Amino acid sequence: MVGRVTGEAQDNFISVSATVDETTALGNHAGAEEARETFAVRPLRASRLDAARRRALALADVLSVLAAYAVLISVSSQEIPLTDLGLLAASVPCWIVMNKLLSLYDRDPAVIDKSTLNELPRIAHSVLLGTALLYLAAPILSDRVDIGRTEILGFMGTLALAMPSLRQVARSLVRRTFPPEKAVVVGQGRVATVITRKIRAHPEYGIEVLGSIDGPILDSYMPPPGLERLGGLHDLEGICREHDVERLIVAFSAAGRSEPLLQTVRTAKLLNLKVTVVPRLYEVLGSSVVMDQVQGMTTLGVPSFFRSHSSLMIKRAIDIGSAAVALTLLAPVMLACAIAVKLTSRGAVLYRQQRIGKDGVPFDLLKFRTMVENADQMKSQFRHLNEMAGPMFKISDDPRITRVGRFLRAHSLDELPQLWNVLVGQMSLVGPRPLIPTEDGAIIGRHRSRLDLTPGLTGPWQALGRNAIPFDEMIELDYLYVADWSLWYDLKLLIRTVPVVALARGH
Protein backbone atom coordinates (compact mmCIF):
# COMPACT_ATOMS: atom_id res chain seq x y z
CA MET A 1 0.00 0.00 0.00
CA VAL A 2 2.79 2.40 0.91
CA GLY A 3 4.44 1.59 -2.40
CA ARG A 4 1.25 2.54 -4.24
CA VAL A 5 0.92 5.79 -2.34
CA THR A 6 4.55 6.71 -2.91
CA GLY A 7 4.17 6.32 -6.68
CA GLU A 8 2.44 9.60 -7.40
CA ALA A 9 5.48 11.88 -7.28
CA GLN A 10 4.72 15.59 -7.67
CA ASP A 11 7.21 18.44 -6.96
CA ASN A 12 9.20 16.85 -4.10
CA PHE A 13 5.94 15.68 -2.49
CA ILE A 14 4.00 12.53 -3.26
CA SER A 15 0.28 13.06 -3.34
CA VAL A 16 -2.62 10.67 -3.71
CA SER A 17 -6.34 11.41 -3.97
CA ALA A 18 -8.80 8.53 -3.73
CA THR A 19 -12.57 8.18 -3.50
CA VAL A 20 -14.77 5.86 -1.52
CA ASP A 21 -15.22 3.77 -4.67
CA GLU A 22 -11.77 2.27 -4.00
CA THR A 23 -13.01 0.48 -0.89
CA THR A 24 -13.54 -2.78 -2.75
CA ALA A 25 -9.78 -3.13 -3.21
CA LEU A 26 -9.32 -2.57 0.50
CA GLY A 27 -12.01 -5.07 1.41
CA ASN A 28 -13.86 -2.75 3.78
CA HIS A 29 -17.36 -2.06 2.46
CA ALA A 30 -18.86 -1.48 5.89
CA GLY A 31 -16.16 1.03 6.78
CA ALA A 32 -16.77 2.86 3.51
CA GLU A 33 -20.50 3.17 4.17
CA GLU A 34 -19.77 4.47 7.66
CA ALA A 35 -17.27 6.95 6.23
CA ARG A 36 -19.89 8.24 3.79
CA GLU A 37 -22.34 8.87 6.60
CA THR A 38 -19.91 10.27 9.15
CA PHE A 39 -17.97 12.56 6.83
CA ALA A 40 -20.69 13.58 4.39
CA VAL A 41 -20.10 17.29 5.06
CA ARG A 42 -16.34 17.41 4.57
CA PRO A 43 -16.17 15.91 1.06
CA LEU A 44 -18.95 18.28 -0.04
CA ARG A 45 -16.95 21.34 1.02
CA ALA A 46 -13.76 20.01 -0.56
CA SER A 47 -15.52 18.98 -3.77
CA ARG A 48 -17.02 22.47 -4.12
CA LEU A 49 -13.56 24.01 -3.93
CA ASP A 50 -12.11 21.54 -6.44
CA ALA A 51 -15.08 21.96 -8.80
CA ALA A 52 -14.85 25.76 -8.58
CA ARG A 53 -11.14 25.61 -9.39
CA ARG A 54 -11.69 23.33 -12.39
CA ARG A 55 -14.43 25.59 -13.75
CA ALA A 56 -12.32 28.70 -13.21
CA LEU A 57 -9.40 27.11 -15.08
CA ALA A 58 -11.71 26.04 -17.92
CA LEU A 59 -13.11 29.58 -18.13
CA ALA A 60 -9.56 30.95 -18.23
CA ASP A 61 -8.76 28.63 -21.12
CA VAL A 62 -11.93 29.67 -22.99
CA LEU A 63 -11.05 33.36 -22.62
CA SER A 64 -7.48 32.64 -23.74
CA VAL A 65 -8.64 30.85 -26.91
CA LEU A 66 -11.15 33.61 -27.69
CA ALA A 67 -8.45 36.26 -27.25
CA ALA A 68 -6.17 34.31 -29.57
CA TYR A 69 -8.97 34.04 -32.17
CA ALA A 70 -9.53 37.80 -31.87
CA VAL A 71 -5.87 38.42 -32.68
CA LEU A 72 -6.01 35.97 -35.57
CA ILE A 73 -9.03 37.77 -37.05
CA SER A 74 -7.52 41.22 -36.53
CA VAL A 75 -4.25 40.38 -38.33
CA SER A 76 -5.92 38.37 -41.09
CA SER A 77 -5.41 39.77 -44.57
CA GLN A 78 -8.95 38.78 -45.60
CA GLU A 79 -12.40 39.16 -44.12
CA ILE A 80 -13.65 35.99 -42.47
CA PRO A 81 -17.37 35.22 -43.11
CA LEU A 82 -19.76 34.91 -40.16
CA THR A 83 -20.29 31.21 -40.82
CA ASP A 84 -16.58 30.59 -40.50
CA LEU A 85 -16.44 32.69 -37.35
CA GLY A 86 -19.10 30.34 -36.01
CA LEU A 87 -16.86 27.39 -36.78
CA LEU A 88 -14.04 29.00 -34.82
CA ALA A 89 -16.34 29.60 -31.87
CA ALA A 90 -17.64 26.05 -32.06
CA SER A 91 -14.08 24.72 -31.81
CA VAL A 92 -13.56 26.27 -28.36
CA PRO A 93 -15.06 23.28 -26.47
CA CYS A 94 -12.57 21.07 -28.31
CA TRP A 95 -9.76 22.96 -26.58
CA ILE A 96 -11.35 22.23 -23.20
CA VAL A 97 -11.60 18.53 -24.02
CA MET A 98 -7.99 18.47 -25.21
CA ASN A 99 -6.78 20.21 -22.03
CA LYS A 100 -8.82 17.76 -19.99
CA LEU A 101 -7.00 14.89 -21.72
CA LEU A 102 -3.71 16.63 -20.94
CA SER A 103 -4.67 16.65 -17.21
CA LEU A 104 -4.72 20.43 -17.01
CA TYR A 105 -7.80 20.44 -14.73
CA ASP A 106 -7.25 17.47 -12.42
CA ARG A 107 -3.78 18.08 -10.99
CA ASP A 108 -4.54 20.72 -8.36
CA PRO A 109 -6.50 18.62 -5.83
CA ALA A 110 -3.64 16.11 -5.59
CA VAL A 111 -0.78 18.53 -4.93
CA ILE A 112 0.14 21.16 -2.36
CA ASP A 113 1.94 23.61 -4.66
CA LYS A 114 -0.64 24.52 -7.30
CA SER A 115 1.73 26.79 -9.19
CA THR A 116 0.91 27.47 -12.84
CA LEU A 117 4.65 27.43 -13.49
CA ASN A 118 4.78 23.68 -12.81
CA GLU A 119 2.28 22.97 -15.60
CA LEU A 120 3.96 25.11 -18.28
CA PRO A 121 5.17 22.04 -20.23
CA ARG A 122 1.59 20.77 -20.50
CA ILE A 123 0.34 24.23 -21.45
CA ALA A 124 3.03 24.40 -24.16
CA HIS A 125 1.88 20.97 -25.34
CA SER A 126 -1.70 22.23 -25.53
CA VAL A 127 -0.76 25.42 -27.40
CA LEU A 128 1.44 23.66 -29.96
CA LEU A 129 -0.94 20.76 -30.55
CA GLY A 130 -4.04 22.95 -30.75
CA THR A 131 -2.38 25.46 -33.07
CA ALA A 132 -1.20 22.67 -35.38
CA LEU A 133 -4.68 21.14 -35.50
CA LEU A 134 -6.22 24.55 -36.26
CA TYR A 135 -3.73 25.22 -39.05
CA LEU A 136 -4.38 21.81 -40.63
CA ALA A 137 -8.15 21.68 -40.11
CA ALA A 138 -9.11 25.23 -41.15
CA PRO A 139 -8.68 24.72 -44.94
CA ILE A 140 -10.59 21.42 -44.73
CA LEU A 141 -13.57 22.91 -42.88
CA SER A 142 -13.76 26.00 -45.09
CA ASP A 143 -12.03 26.86 -48.35
CA ARG A 144 -12.62 30.55 -47.58
CA VAL A 145 -10.29 30.58 -44.60
CA ASP A 146 -6.61 30.84 -45.42
CA ILE A 147 -4.54 31.00 -42.25
CA GLY A 148 -1.09 32.27 -43.13
CA ARG A 149 2.15 32.53 -41.20
CA THR A 150 1.33 35.93 -39.67
CA GLU A 151 -2.09 34.81 -38.48
CA ILE A 152 -0.92 31.54 -36.98
CA LEU A 153 2.06 33.15 -35.20
CA GLY A 154 -0.20 35.85 -33.76
CA PHE A 155 -2.66 33.20 -32.60
CA MET A 156 -0.01 30.99 -31.02
CA GLY A 157 1.83 33.87 -29.34
CA THR A 158 -1.36 35.27 -27.83
CA LEU A 159 -2.47 31.88 -26.58
CA ALA A 160 0.96 31.11 -25.12
CA LEU A 161 0.86 34.33 -23.08
CA ALA A 162 -2.83 34.40 -22.20
CA MET A 163 -3.36 30.82 -21.06
CA PRO A 164 -0.80 30.67 -18.21
CA SER A 165 -1.55 34.25 -17.18
CA LEU A 166 -5.32 33.77 -16.96
CA ARG A 167 -4.93 30.39 -15.26
CA GLN A 168 -2.79 32.04 -12.60
CA VAL A 169 -5.48 34.71 -12.13
CA ALA A 170 -8.15 32.01 -11.88
CA ARG A 171 -6.24 30.14 -9.18
CA SER A 172 -5.69 33.37 -7.26
CA LEU A 173 -9.39 34.27 -7.36
CA VAL A 174 -10.46 30.81 -6.19
CA ARG A 175 -7.92 30.92 -3.35
CA ARG A 176 -9.23 34.30 -2.21
CA THR A 177 -12.86 33.17 -2.45
CA PHE A 178 -12.63 29.92 -0.49
CA PRO A 179 -11.21 29.39 3.01
CA PRO A 180 -7.86 27.55 3.26
CA GLU A 181 -7.82 23.79 2.98
CA LYS A 182 -7.45 22.23 6.45
CA ALA A 183 -4.65 19.71 6.92
CA VAL A 184 -3.07 17.68 9.71
CA VAL A 185 0.43 16.19 9.80
CA VAL A 186 1.01 12.56 10.72
CA GLY A 187 4.51 12.49 12.16
CA GLN A 188 6.95 14.06 14.54
CA GLY A 189 10.47 15.42 14.59
CA ARG A 190 12.42 17.31 11.94
CA VAL A 191 10.50 16.21 8.84
CA ALA A 192 7.12 17.17 10.29
CA THR A 193 8.56 20.50 11.45
CA VAL A 194 10.12 21.29 8.06
CA ILE A 195 7.05 20.44 5.98
CA THR A 196 4.85 22.45 8.33
CA ARG A 197 7.15 25.47 8.19
CA LYS A 198 7.33 25.34 4.40
CA ILE A 199 3.55 25.23 4.03
CA ARG A 200 2.94 28.00 6.56
CA ALA A 201 5.55 30.19 4.87
CA HIS A 202 3.61 30.05 1.59
CA PRO A 203 0.00 31.22 2.01
CA GLU A 204 -0.42 30.93 -1.76
CA TYR A 205 -0.70 27.16 -1.24
CA GLY A 206 -4.09 27.79 0.37
CA ILE A 207 -3.48 25.20 3.12
CA GLU A 208 -3.85 25.63 6.88
CA VAL A 209 -1.92 23.12 9.01
CA LEU A 210 -4.02 22.57 12.12
CA GLY A 211 -1.69 20.30 14.08
CA SER A 212 -0.16 16.84 14.20
CA ILE A 213 -1.13 13.32 15.16
CA ASP A 214 1.05 10.27 15.71
CA GLY A 215 1.24 6.97 17.50
CA PRO A 216 1.03 4.42 18.81
CA ILE A 217 3.88 5.42 21.17
CA LEU A 218 2.02 8.33 22.77
CA ASP A 219 4.09 8.45 25.98
CA SER A 220 7.28 9.34 24.10
CA TYR A 221 5.53 11.57 21.60
CA MET A 222 7.04 15.05 21.30
CA PRO A 223 5.06 17.35 18.98
CA PRO A 224 7.15 19.56 16.67
CA PRO A 225 7.58 23.19 17.81
CA GLY A 226 4.60 25.33 16.86
CA LEU A 227 2.54 22.27 15.92
CA GLU A 228 -0.28 21.37 18.30
CA ARG A 229 -0.77 17.71 19.13
CA LEU A 230 -4.33 16.78 18.18
CA GLY A 231 -4.20 13.13 19.23
CA GLY A 232 -3.06 9.67 18.21
CA LEU A 233 -3.59 7.65 15.06
CA HIS A 234 -6.49 5.81 16.65
CA ASP A 235 -8.27 9.20 16.98
CA LEU A 236 -8.07 9.96 13.24
CA GLU A 237 -11.79 9.77 12.48
CA GLY A 238 -12.75 11.86 15.50
CA ILE A 239 -10.07 14.46 14.76
CA CYS A 240 -11.16 14.77 11.14
CA ARG A 241 -14.80 15.08 12.16
CA GLU A 242 -14.06 17.71 14.81
CA HIS A 243 -11.73 19.87 12.71
CA ASP A 244 -13.25 19.27 9.25
CA VAL A 245 -9.90 18.01 7.92
CA GLU A 246 -9.44 17.78 4.15
CA ARG A 247 -5.82 16.66 3.73
CA LEU A 248 -3.53 14.27 5.58
CA ILE A 249 0.23 14.88 5.33
CA VAL A 250 2.27 11.80 6.25
CA ALA A 251 5.74 12.90 7.41
CA PHE A 252 7.55 9.93 8.94
CA SER A 253 5.20 8.80 11.68
CA ALA A 254 6.52 7.18 14.84
CA ALA A 255 4.48 4.20 13.72
CA GLY A 256 7.00 3.73 10.90
CA ARG A 257 6.06 0.88 8.56
CA SER A 258 3.77 -0.76 11.08
CA GLU A 259 0.14 -1.66 10.53
CA PRO A 260 -1.26 1.45 12.35
CA LEU A 261 0.28 3.77 9.75
CA LEU A 262 -0.96 1.62 6.87
CA GLN A 263 -4.43 1.63 8.37
CA THR A 264 -4.25 5.41 8.78
CA VAL A 265 -3.62 5.89 5.05
CA ARG A 266 -6.36 3.38 4.20
CA THR A 267 -8.80 5.18 6.48
CA ALA A 268 -7.89 8.56 5.01
CA LYS A 269 -8.54 7.27 1.50
CA LEU A 270 -11.85 5.75 2.57
CA LEU A 271 -12.88 9.09 4.03
CA ASN A 272 -11.99 10.82 0.74
CA LEU A 273 -9.21 12.80 2.39
CA LYS A 274 -6.45 14.03 0.13
CA VAL A 275 -3.23 12.30 1.15
CA THR A 276 0.26 13.75 0.77
CA VAL A 277 3.20 11.51 1.64
CA VAL A 278 6.73 12.81 2.19
CA PRO A 279 8.87 9.93 0.86
CA ARG A 280 11.61 8.56 3.08
CA LEU A 281 14.16 9.32 0.37
CA TYR A 282 12.98 12.91 -0.10
CA GLU A 283 16.54 14.18 0.46
CA VAL A 284 17.62 12.70 -2.89
CA LEU A 285 14.36 12.89 -4.83
CA GLY A 286 13.79 15.86 -7.11
CA SER A 287 11.28 16.81 -9.77
CA SER A 288 13.14 14.78 -12.41
CA VAL A 289 12.27 11.48 -10.73
CA VAL A 290 10.74 9.12 -13.31
CA MET A 291 7.82 6.90 -12.35
CA ASP A 292 7.92 3.33 -13.61
CA GLN A 293 5.85 0.15 -13.29
CA VAL A 294 7.49 -3.24 -12.77
CA GLN A 295 4.78 -5.90 -13.00
CA GLY A 296 2.30 -3.73 -11.13
CA MET A 297 4.81 -2.39 -8.57
CA THR A 298 5.44 1.34 -8.74
CA THR A 299 9.11 2.34 -8.74
CA LEU A 300 10.89 5.69 -8.89
CA GLY A 301 13.86 6.20 -11.19
CA VAL A 302 16.40 8.63 -9.75
CA PRO A 303 18.69 10.22 -12.39
CA SER A 304 22.45 10.15 -11.92
CA PHE A 305 24.79 13.13 -11.74
CA PHE A 306 25.74 12.67 -15.40
CA ARG A 307 25.16 15.77 -17.52
CA SER A 308 25.59 15.73 -21.26
CA HIS A 309 28.25 18.00 -22.74
CA SER A 310 25.69 19.49 -25.14
CA SER A 311 23.38 20.55 -22.28
CA LEU A 312 26.25 22.23 -20.44
CA MET A 313 27.30 23.99 -23.66
CA ILE A 314 23.75 25.32 -24.12
CA LYS A 315 23.74 26.52 -20.49
CA ARG A 316 27.04 28.34 -21.02
CA ALA A 317 25.84 29.87 -24.32
CA ILE A 318 22.73 31.19 -22.58
CA ASP A 319 24.91 32.65 -19.80
CA ILE A 320 27.19 34.46 -22.24
CA GLY A 321 24.39 35.82 -24.42
CA SER A 322 22.18 36.91 -21.52
CA ALA A 323 25.02 38.51 -19.55
CA ALA A 324 26.29 40.42 -22.60
CA VAL A 325 22.83 41.75 -23.43
CA ALA A 326 22.07 42.60 -19.79
CA LEU A 327 25.37 44.45 -19.29
CA THR A 328 24.69 46.51 -22.42
CA LEU A 329 21.09 47.37 -21.56
CA LEU A 330 21.73 47.99 -17.86
CA ALA A 331 24.89 50.05 -18.34
CA PRO A 332 23.07 53.36 -17.57
CA VAL A 333 21.55 51.87 -14.41
CA MET A 334 24.91 50.52 -13.26
CA LEU A 335 26.53 53.91 -13.93
CA ALA A 336 23.89 55.62 -11.80
CA CYS A 337 24.43 53.10 -8.99
CA ALA A 338 28.19 53.63 -9.12
CA ILE A 339 27.81 57.42 -8.93
CA ALA A 340 25.37 57.14 -6.00
CA VAL A 341 27.73 54.86 -4.06
CA LYS A 342 30.72 57.12 -4.69
CA LEU A 343 28.99 60.37 -3.74
CA THR A 344 27.33 59.14 -0.54
CA SER A 345 30.12 57.27 1.27
CA ARG A 346 33.89 56.85 1.34
CA GLY A 347 35.51 53.82 -0.20
CA ALA A 348 35.64 51.90 -3.46
CA VAL A 349 32.57 51.63 -5.66
CA LEU A 350 32.91 47.88 -6.12
CA TYR A 351 33.22 45.38 -3.28
CA ARG A 352 35.25 42.26 -4.00
CA GLN A 353 34.70 39.18 -1.87
CA GLN A 354 36.34 35.80 -2.29
CA ARG A 355 33.85 33.02 -2.97
CA ILE A 356 34.26 29.33 -3.74
CA GLY A 357 33.36 28.43 -7.30
CA LYS A 358 33.02 25.30 -9.41
CA ASP A 359 35.26 22.41 -8.31
CA GLY A 360 36.33 24.42 -5.25
CA VAL A 361 38.22 27.08 -7.25
CA PRO A 362 38.03 30.50 -5.49
CA PHE A 363 37.13 33.69 -7.37
CA ASP A 364 36.39 37.33 -6.57
CA LEU A 365 32.66 38.04 -6.58
CA LEU A 366 31.78 41.63 -7.56
CA LYS A 367 29.08 43.76 -5.94
CA PHE A 368 28.35 47.42 -5.55
CA ARG A 369 29.56 48.41 -2.07
CA THR A 370 26.56 48.73 0.24
CA MET A 371 28.34 49.06 3.59
CA VAL A 372 30.66 51.56 5.16
CA GLU A 373 34.37 51.31 4.50
CA ASN A 374 36.15 48.53 6.45
CA ALA A 375 32.82 46.85 7.29
CA ASP A 376 34.51 43.42 7.40
CA GLN A 377 36.75 44.52 10.25
CA MET A 378 33.65 45.57 12.23
CA LYS A 379 31.93 42.19 12.01
CA SER A 380 33.13 41.04 15.45
CA GLN A 381 31.43 44.06 17.07
CA PHE A 382 28.03 42.97 15.77
CA ARG A 383 28.34 39.18 15.95
CA HIS A 384 25.85 39.10 18.81
CA LEU A 385 23.21 40.45 16.39
CA ASN A 386 23.66 37.60 13.90
CA GLU A 387 20.27 36.13 12.97
CA MET A 388 21.47 33.09 11.03
CA ALA A 389 22.29 29.67 12.42
CA GLY A 390 25.46 27.88 11.38
CA PRO A 391 28.43 29.61 9.74
CA MET A 392 26.40 32.29 7.95
CA PHE A 393 26.38 35.89 9.19
CA LYS A 394 23.32 38.03 8.50
CA ILE A 395 21.68 40.98 10.25
CA SER A 396 18.42 42.18 8.72
CA ASP A 397 18.92 45.74 9.97
CA ASP A 398 22.71 45.83 9.77
CA PRO A 399 24.04 49.18 11.10
CA ARG A 400 27.00 48.98 8.70
CA ILE A 401 24.76 49.36 5.64
CA THR A 402 24.66 52.82 4.08
CA ARG A 403 21.47 54.61 3.08
CA VAL A 404 22.13 54.07 -0.63
CA GLY A 405 23.29 50.54 0.08
CA ARG A 406 19.98 49.69 1.72
CA PHE A 407 18.14 50.81 -1.42
CA LEU A 408 20.48 48.84 -3.69
CA ARG A 409 20.03 45.69 -1.61
CA ALA A 410 16.25 45.99 -1.45
CA HIS A 411 16.06 45.98 -5.24
CA SER A 412 19.02 43.60 -5.83
CA LEU A 413 20.85 46.34 -7.74
CA ASP A 414 24.02 45.67 -5.76
CA GLU A 415 24.35 42.33 -7.55
CA LEU A 416 24.39 43.72 -11.10
CA PRO A 417 28.23 43.65 -11.34
CA GLN A 418 28.02 39.87 -10.98
CA LEU A 419 26.90 39.83 -14.60
CA TRP A 420 30.58 40.29 -15.35
CA ASN A 421 31.35 37.19 -13.27
CA VAL A 422 28.79 35.37 -15.41
CA LEU A 423 30.26 36.66 -18.67
CA VAL A 424 33.80 35.48 -17.83
CA GLY A 425 32.58 32.07 -16.66
CA GLN A 426 33.12 32.35 -12.90
CA MET A 427 29.36 32.29 -12.31
CA SER A 428 26.20 31.23 -14.13
CA LEU A 429 22.78 32.85 -14.31
CA VAL A 430 21.40 29.94 -12.26
CA GLY A 431 23.33 27.69 -9.92
CA PRO A 432 24.22 26.89 -6.30
CA ARG A 433 24.85 29.80 -3.98
CA PRO A 434 28.51 30.96 -4.08
CA LEU A 435 29.78 30.69 -0.49
CA ILE A 436 32.64 32.39 1.30
CA PRO A 437 35.48 30.05 2.39
CA THR A 438 34.33 29.79 6.04
CA GLU A 439 30.83 28.75 4.94
CA ASP A 440 32.17 26.33 2.35
CA GLY A 441 34.43 24.75 4.97
CA ALA A 442 31.40 23.78 7.02
CA ILE A 443 30.04 21.57 4.20
CA ILE A 444 31.05 17.93 4.27
CA GLY A 445 29.99 14.65 2.71
CA ARG A 446 27.58 14.36 -0.21
CA HIS A 447 26.75 18.06 -0.07
CA ARG A 448 30.23 18.82 -1.48
CA SER A 449 28.78 17.78 -4.87
CA ARG A 450 27.10 21.21 -4.99
CA LEU A 451 30.46 22.37 -6.40
CA ASP A 452 29.99 20.20 -9.50
CA LEU A 453 28.13 23.09 -11.16
CA THR A 454 29.08 26.75 -11.54
CA PRO A 455 27.58 28.93 -8.77
CA GLY A 456 24.68 31.12 -9.84
CA LEU A 457 23.49 34.68 -9.77
CA THR A 458 20.25 33.12 -8.63
CA GLY A 459 19.29 29.62 -7.56
CA PRO A 460 16.87 27.65 -5.42
CA TRP A 461 17.87 29.57 -2.29
CA GLN A 462 16.96 32.92 -3.88
CA ALA A 463 13.86 31.76 -5.72
CA LEU A 464 12.43 30.30 -2.51
CA GLY A 465 13.10 33.17 -0.14
CA ARG A 466 16.79 34.01 0.18
CA ASN A 467 17.83 34.53 3.79
CA ALA A 468 14.54 33.14 5.12
CA ILE A 469 16.02 29.68 4.44
CA PRO A 470 18.33 28.19 7.12
CA PHE A 471 21.90 27.31 6.12
CA ASP A 472 21.50 23.53 6.34
CA GLU A 473 18.33 23.65 4.28
CA MET A 474 19.96 25.92 1.71
CA ILE A 475 22.79 23.41 1.30
CA GLU A 476 20.22 20.64 0.86
CA LEU A 477 18.45 22.69 -1.82
CA ASP A 478 21.74 23.26 -3.64
CA TYR A 479 22.49 19.53 -3.51
CA LEU A 480 19.08 18.69 -4.94
CA TYR A 481 19.54 21.37 -7.62
CA VAL A 482 22.81 19.79 -8.76
CA ALA A 483 21.38 16.26 -8.58
CA ASP A 484 18.22 17.29 -10.41
CA TRP A 485 19.67 19.85 -12.84
CA SER A 486 18.07 20.48 -16.21
CA LEU A 487 17.67 23.46 -18.51
CA TRP A 488 13.95 23.53 -17.73
CA TYR A 489 14.73 23.66 -13.99
CA ASP A 490 16.98 26.69 -14.64
CA LEU A 491 14.17 28.43 -16.51
CA LYS A 492 11.72 27.74 -13.66
CA LEU A 493 14.12 29.22 -11.11
CA LEU A 494 14.68 32.31 -13.25
CA ILE A 495 10.94 32.87 -13.51
CA ARG A 496 10.45 32.33 -9.78
CA THR A 497 13.24 34.78 -8.97
CA VAL A 498 11.40 37.67 -10.66
CA PRO A 499 8.69 38.16 -7.97
CA VAL A 500 11.24 37.58 -5.18
CA VAL A 501 13.39 40.43 -6.50
CA ALA A 502 10.44 42.66 -7.44
CA LEU A 503 8.86 42.34 -3.99
CA ALA A 504 12.21 42.49 -2.16
CA ARG A 505 11.50 39.23 -0.30
CA GLY A 506 14.22 37.91 1.94
CA HIS A 507 15.68 41.33 2.89
Hey, which bits of 1-151 come out as E strands? Answer: 9-10, 13-17
Residue 37 is predicted with a pLDDT of 47
Helix 331-344 with 309-329: angle, nearest 10 deg: 60
The full set of domain ranges for the chain reads 2-18+181-301, 49-177, 309-502
The 10 Å Cβ neighbour count of residue 229 is: 15
Q: pLDDT per position in the chain (507 positions), as tens?
A: 333 333 333 343 334 333 333 333 333 444 444 444 444 444 556 678 888 999 999 999 999 999 998 888 888 766 666 666 777 788 889 999 999 999 999 888 888 888 898 899 999 999 999 999 888 877 766 665 567 788 889 999 999 999 999 999 999 999 999 999 999 988 777 788 888 888 888 888 889 999 888 754 433 445 556 678 888 777 888 888 888 888 988 886 544 455 666 777 788 877 788 888 887 766 666 667 777 778 777 777 776 667 788 889 999 999 999 999 999 999 999 999 999 999 998 989 999 999 999 999 999 999 999 998 888 778 777 877 776 666 777 777 788 889 999 999 888 899 999 999 999 999 999 999 899 998 888 888 888 888 899 999 998 887 776 556 778 888 888 888 888 888 888 998 998 888 877 766 545
Is-contact 472 390, C-beta < 8 A?
A: yes
DSSP secondary structure letters along 228-239: -EEEEGGGHHHH
Residue 296 is predicted with a pLDDT of 72
3-state secondary structure of 253: coil
Enumerate helices (H) and strands (E) in the chain, giving the number of each: 19, 13
So what CATH class is 2-18+181-301? Answer: alpha beta
Close Cβ partners of 387 (under 8 Å, ≥ 6 residues apart): 394, 395, 396
Is-contact 46 309, C-beta < 8 A?
A: no
Hey, which bits of 273-341 come out as E strands? Answer: 274-277, 290-294, 297-301
Close Cβ partners of 384 (under 8 Å, ≥ 6 residues apart): none
Hey, which bits of 215-269 come out as E strands? Answer: 229-232, 247-250
Sign of CA dihedral 65, 66, 70, 73: positive
Close Cβ partners of 219 (under 8 Å, ≥ 6 residues apart): none
Helix 309-329 with 487-502: angle, nearest 10 deg: 30
Using a 10 angstrom Cβ sphere, with 0-12 exposed, 13-18 middle and 19 or more buried, the burial of residue 185 is buried
Helix then strand then coil, % of the chain, to nearest 5: 55, 15, 30
